[in-house]
């Protein structure tokens, strides 16, 4: 398939924010995509080259793309940078600079979707001496084949800045619509396989019957079952009568896939983190009885092997993100894993089994060690016992407890009422916006990420505490951009400094100590609750209040 056809679809998607219209555009397009190209197309539509669980990554920076654009267009790099600053979008800059190239080129090979994928796949595998120049040459080759409009989306894809708003939900609905299959089967198949390309291929060739056959497979991550929030212990006791309470560990949820001698680790976001945690891989090989299994647990960074108290989540995050000096990180930041479920064992899916039976199986197949063990559990119908267990979890430094229905099956990818999380209520903060970043793709003309700050009443300064880009509708992005445009005091590339005028109410998952921000703290997963038009910057929450909340 010609890349120009995909470019036409990109243009249509860029002109709408309607979910229904996007779904229809994608569905109509999928109907004409050859079966062998579906995998690539479904990744490209979401601005990806590889699935989230693949170990491959592009890791291409703007400087490398600027060099490639300069080589193909014949325009000096500093002029390319000027054009990027002028347009605020590297893709649009590439398109405008390639117009001249297109006018002077008599013949070029037509760019295909598969050619784009093949070059980027080769590029991702390059390492070592001379790899930078080779990567630039692969990018330059694609740009030399591309028409100006194609280069816009090609560059955005390479920089992983496409952002057309085509999420997994839209693609799932489009697959169902295009191939006339049951959307519930599409959702189930994707939850079990995490591979929309495979789901689309099977839907196209085998219909509903084929989708029903898709099942769990070690080495291929699944979407995990999600918990709902409960206000207190009594609420879940009223629902389930007798409840399995487990510690809600302050860590990262991990799937462990064992397939004979092979072990893979995946995060909740389906990222492959096998290389980052060799000690967990070793423990899984040695301490999971059987040839094949998929088990779930919570990985926690601990102070040391004698002190089981959890370290701050950002320490674990450092290990997840680290791609080099792994042995050093193993010693520097030790981890343990607390296993709480098994969904596949010895070639058979266990998701239809009751939780109490899955837990019994887990206890049977896991040989516990100090750092590879079962999640602590208390089964009770007593609010006194449950509250005692809850207080114990908090005293150990964890987030609270999980409450699970003993008779419930496992529902991948769903936030069903089979389990609940109970933890102390986190208060919101009123913060000042003092900086922002211009968006990409559809959001290129909006400020799309906002730098938040608390007030230091002693100095009158605003101290940064995090960045926020979620919780906004498209209309709110537009309104916020209009509100803040007049407050821009300085601009460098896409980054802007703002006069401290606008106050927003922000929710978050956690407050952490952090050297990244001038307050010394960072908000984990901040999200907009509302704009506080009734408050001025001097009414914002203070550094002292942040410290009080953290102490709780």
Report the run of H or E that residue 138 belongs to, with start and end. helix 131-145
Which stretches within 377-523 are classed as H helix?
Answer: 383-395, 474-485
Torsion sign across C-alpha atoms 477, 479, 482, 484: negative
Q: Which of helix, strand or coil describes residue 25?
A: helix
181 CB-near residues (< 8 Å, 6+ apart):
175, 203, 207, 208, 211
Which stretches within 194-232 are classed as H helix?
Answer: 196-213
Catalytic-role residue among 248, 350, 404, 423 = 248
Task: Give how far Cα 174 sits from Cα of 15, 25, 189, 262, Å.
Answer: 18, 8, 14, 35
User: Would you say 441 and 156 are in contact if contact means Cβ atoms under 8 Å apart?
Assistant: yes
Query: How far from chain centre, in Å, is Cα 536?
Result: 34
Neighbour tally for 427: CB within 10 Å: 12
Tokens of 79: 């002029």
Torsion sign across C-alpha atoms 473, 479, 483, 486: positive
Question: What is the per-residue burial (b if ≥16 Cβ within 10 Å, else e) of 389-418?
Answer: bbeebeeebbbbbbbbbbebbbbbbeeeeb
DSSP state letter for 223: P
DSSP string, 120-136: HHHHHT--STTHHHHHH
Terminal Cα distance for the chain, rounded: 58
Question: Is 67 considered catalytic here?
Answer: no
Rounded Cα distance between 401 and 384, Å, is 14
Rounded Cα distance between 273 and 255, Å, is 10
Q: Could you give phi then psi for residue 504, rounded to 5 degrees?
A: -130, 145
Rounded Cα distance between 468 and 301, Å, is 26
Tokens of 366: 């896991």
- Catalytic positions are 248
């Amino acid at each position: 398939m010609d890349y120009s056809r995909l470019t036409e679809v990109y243009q249509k998607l860029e002109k709408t924010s309607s979910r229904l219209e996007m779904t229809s555009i994608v569905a109509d397009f999928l109907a004409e995509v050859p079966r062998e190209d579906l995998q690539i197309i479904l990744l490209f539509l979401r601005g990806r080259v590889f699935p989230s669980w693949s170990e491959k990554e592009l890791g291409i920076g703007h400087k490398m793309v600027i060099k490639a654009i300069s080589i193909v267009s014949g325009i000096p790099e500093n002029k390319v940078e000027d054009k990027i600053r002028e347009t605020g979008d590297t893709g649009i800059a590439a398109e405008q600079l390639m117009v001249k190239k297109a006018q002077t080129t008599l013949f070029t090979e037509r760019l295909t979707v598969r050619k784009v994928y093949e070059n980027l796949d080769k590029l991702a595998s390059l390492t070592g001496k001379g790899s930078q120049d080779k990567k630039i040459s692969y990018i330059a080759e694609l740009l030399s084949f591309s028409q100006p409009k194609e280069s816009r989306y090609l560059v955005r894809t390479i920089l992983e800045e496409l952002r057309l708003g085509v999420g997994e939900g839209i693609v799932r609905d489009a697959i169902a619509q295009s191939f006339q299959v049951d959307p519930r089967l599409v959702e189930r198949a994707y939850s079990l396989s995490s591979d929309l390309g495979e789901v689309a291929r099977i839907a196209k060739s085998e219909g509903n019957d084929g989708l029903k056959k898709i099942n769990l497979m070690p080495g291929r991550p699944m979407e995990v079952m999600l918990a709902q929030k409960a206000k207190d212990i009594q609420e879940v006791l009223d629902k389930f009568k007798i409840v399995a309470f487990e510690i809600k560990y302050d860590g990262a949820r991990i799937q462990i896939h064992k397939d004979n001698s092979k072990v893979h680790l995946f995060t909740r976001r389906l990222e492959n983190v096998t290389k980052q945690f060799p000690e967990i891989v070793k423990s899984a090989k040695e301490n999971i009885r059987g040839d094949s299994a998929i088990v779930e647990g919570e990985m926690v960074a601990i102070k040391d092997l004698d002190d089981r108290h959890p370290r701050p989540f950002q320490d674990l995050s450092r290990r997840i993100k680290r791609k080099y000096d792994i042995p050093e990180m193993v010693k520097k930041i030790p981890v343990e894993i607390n296993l709480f479920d098994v969904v596949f064992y010895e070639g058979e899916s266990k998701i239809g089994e009751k939780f109490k039976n899955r837990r019994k199986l887990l206890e049977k197949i896991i040989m516990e060690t100090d750092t590879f063990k079962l999640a602590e559990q208390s089964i009770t119908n007593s609010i006194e016992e449950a509250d005692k267990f809850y207080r114990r979890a908090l005293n150990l430094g964890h987030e609270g407890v999980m409450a699970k229905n003993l008779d419930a099956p496992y529902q991948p990818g769903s936030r069903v009422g089979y389990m609940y999380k109970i933890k102390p209520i986190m208060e919101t903060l009123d913060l000042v916006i003092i900086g922002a970043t211009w968006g990409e793709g559809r959001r290129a003309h909006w400020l799309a990420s906002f730098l938040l700050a608390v007030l230091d009443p002693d100095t009158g300064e605003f101290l940064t505490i995090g960045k926020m880009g979620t919780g906004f509708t498209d209309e709110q992005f537009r309104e916020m951009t209009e509100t803040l445009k007049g407050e821009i005091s300085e601009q460098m590339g896409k980054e802007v400094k703002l006069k401290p005028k606008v106050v927003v109410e922000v929710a978050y998952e956690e407050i952490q100590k952090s050297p990244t921000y001038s307050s010394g703290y960072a908000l984990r997963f901040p999200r907009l609750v509302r704009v506080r038009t009734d408050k001025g910057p001097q009414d914002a929450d203070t550094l002292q209040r942040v410290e009080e909340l953290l102490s709780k």
